[in-house]
Amino acid sequence: MLTGIIAVVLGLGLMILIHEFGHFIMARFFGVRVDVFSIGLGPRLFGVKRGATDYRFSAVPMGGYVRMAGENPSGERTGDPDECSSSSPDPPPT
What are the extents of the domains in the chain? 2-86
The answer to whether residues 17 and 27 touch, using CB atoms and an 8 Å cutoff, is no
- For 15, residues 6+ apart whose C-beta sits below 8 A from its C-beta are none
pLDDT tens sequence across 26-46: 989 988 889 999 999 999 999
Please state whether 21 falls in left (phi above 0), alpha (psi between -120 and 50) or beta. Answer: alpha
pTM, full prediction: 0.76
For 82-91, what is each residue's pLDDT tens digit? 776 655 566 6
Q: Which residues belong to the active site?
A: 20
With the CA atoms of 30, 85, 42 and 11 taken in that order, what torsion angle do they form, in degrees rounded to the nearest 10?
A: -30
